[in-house]
Structure 1
Amino acid sequence: MQGYFVRIAPNEVSVSHPDAVRQLLHAQIAKGPWYAIMSLPDYRYVNQMSELDPKEHIRKQRNIASGYALSNIIQHEPHFDAILRLLTTRLNDFCESGQPVELDRWFTFFAFDAVGEVIFSKSFGFLEQGKDVRDAIANQRLLAPYATVMGHYCWFHNLTLGNPLLSRLGIQPSSHVFDTCIAAIDARKKNPAKRNDMMQKWIDTRAKYPDRMEEVEIFSTAVGTLGAGGDTVSATIQALFYLLIRHPRHMIRLQDELDAAHDRKELSPIVKYDEAQRLPFLQACVCRNTLPVVKVWF
């Protein structure tokens, strides 16, 4: 790494100096081999997270960028609202019955159903059924410690959980998630009435640049985004409520802000993105406190 240090004084070097940063940006340093384990469901499906070659990573990122655009995500708000209403109904049922509720489970159910909607307009039914369907989420949590260790032994992973034979047989821990992705992609190809979700953005990119984007990238990106997005959304919601419960005065202040905005008729029954943007204390709770905690976790 000596070539990326910039001497700024006779006995001083810097890695944060603008010249050093420019050298690092143009260096295109390859990722470590550990990231290869992020290819899901098996080693054939290399996504933007598992791609080690910096040039290929840039190409893949350029192909899928349109799906992640905020303008594309925002248009799915009505579908998020339906999932939020279902979550509210489930939590109200617990309140009326007086039974304890495992918020982490229900927040995770919501997160994966919501991410499923934005990727390919199809939730997994976790909230509707009120359970972890085929233990897909539980199995995915077990994959985290597995990946932590086996990422250093990818050759062994490719013989076991990363083996294409297991994905063909559908006996991997997250086979339900993969099966749902495959079914959604197949249904999309046959359905002329399509929604402009992430999947459609990637299909359109593939149609426009067939020489730049392979079809297998659509599936690998969908699965990778689902796993990363579901966990991150769930962790963010859990962290937010955990911190608020641990600090009641902040919970009260946030409730007061929400009540005041409601009295001014500035909030919809299900708060919209642009309405939430005008709530400064809510934004402080999410952006300045919760998200930094989640980044440390991940």
Structure 2
Amino acid sequence: MQRHELTDKEWDLLAPLVPAAATGRPRVDDRRVINGMVYKIRTGMPWRDLPHRYGPWQTVYTRFRRYALSGVFTHALQQIQAQADAAGDIDWLVQIDSTIVRAHQHAAVNGRNRGCIGRTNRNDQALGRSRGGLTTKIHLACGGRGRPLALLITAGQRHDGIYAQPLLKRIRVPRLGPGRPRSLPHHVIADKAYSSRGFRAYLRKRGIRCTIPEKADQQRHRHNRGRQGGRPPSFDRETYRRRNTVERCFNTLKHFRGIATRYDKTTASYEAAVSLASFLIWARSL
């Protein structure tokens, strides 16, 4: 086993979830190809510079794109979460947050067609312009043990609070037996960016407790309204101290240089890379 490649344990977890070719000529070994994908994401190198031990780089890239478009790594992430949930290994004290990722100039090249025809909108590929230039934002929901439960990729200038509900709706942990996928956490911890009345009402309607600090302007507005302003939302400082778990989860994800800096041109490819890295975080914690 070379550096940045799958261990036997990680491959045993991933192998049953990789689709097999039903017809056609014999293809390159699946483990060899996926090791090439992991090596590329871990180092952030161009596809053309992959070492020859992983086979032709076109084969690795084509297989990665096929898996990205069909959601293979997203499905694998959900299945390993299902195994952990069946063993009672998921802490449903969920933290949500986002992180900015700088997009490399190669990620902004979406086609070579001149003129307006065929030109791809940057926002369609989750590329936005902020103070740091072209950026992408990863919205993440992780469990109490610092492992990703759901992720969402948007343009870098998008506000966190807008995607709070869509992010929580992406939490779907399947059951190994009969029953609906589990999607509701016991408790949600978030920072002030998520302190909106709409989001609090959304959590309250679903019976989800939350620990979210209130913004200063919201406090003044409620105070100025007097009795009509209502009571201040409950806030437990001791529980809020656990919000550092999501920050440590981001740090672990950004150990993959292909995630810390975005080189992928499409949202599907970048989201597949983040999903594969998240799967490895789960596999290494079991």
**TM-score band, normalised by shorter chain:** under 0.3
Greater Rg over alpha carbons, structure = 1
Give the TM-score, by structure 2 length. 0.21
Give the TM-score, by structure 1 length. 0.20
